[in-house]
């Protein structure tokens, strides 16, 4: 896994991934990152929740998202992915 700095607008594509909502306090050795429970675009904001609580972010705010290495999901804008497994 590796951390990627992405705009909050991309969070709905990474439900289930680990996230750091405030990049200024990024220190994975000292703290445990949150996990995105849900994130949706609503009224011009990103409304969502982690295991620790709810958040509302501007779509242009940046967050750190833990993406598998080698990347199994694109970090390019416009691609939609869910990092959860579904039994078929």
Q: pLDDT for 48-77, tens place per residue?
A: 999 889 999 999 999 999 876 655 555 565
Cα distance between residue 60 and residue 1, in whole Å = 24
Q: Which domain holds residue 63?
A: 38-73
For the record, the structure tokens of 35 come out as: 């996990």
User: What 3-state class would DSSP assign to 33?
Assistant: coil
Give the mean pLDDT of 36-44: 94
Residue with tokens 């951390």: 3
Total number of domains in the chain: 1
In a domain? residue 65: yes
Residue 33 in domain: no
- Whether the pTM exceeds 0.85: the reply is no
35 has a pLDDT exceeding 80: yes
**Percent with pLDDT over 90 in the chain:** 39
Q: Is residue 54 part of a domain?
A: yes
Quote the CA–CA distance of 88 and 81 in Å, as a whole number: 17
CA atoms of 48 and 36, how far apart (whole Å): 8
Instruction: Supply the pLDDT for residue 59.
Output: 95
Is position 1 within any domain? no
DSSP 3-state assignment of 6?
Answer: strand
44 falls within a domain: yes
């Amino acid at each position: 896994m590796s951390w990627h700095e992405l705009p909050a607008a991309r969070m709905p594509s990474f439900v289930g991934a680990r996230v750091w909502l405030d990049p200024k306090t990024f220190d994975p050795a000292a703290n445990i990152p949150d996990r995105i429970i849900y994130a949706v675009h609503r009224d011009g904001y990103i409304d969502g929740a982690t295991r620790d609580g709810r958040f509302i972010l501007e779509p242009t705010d940046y967050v750190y998202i833990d993406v598998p290495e080698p990347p199994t999901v694109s970090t390019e804008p416009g691609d939609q992915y869910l990092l959860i497994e579904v039994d078929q």
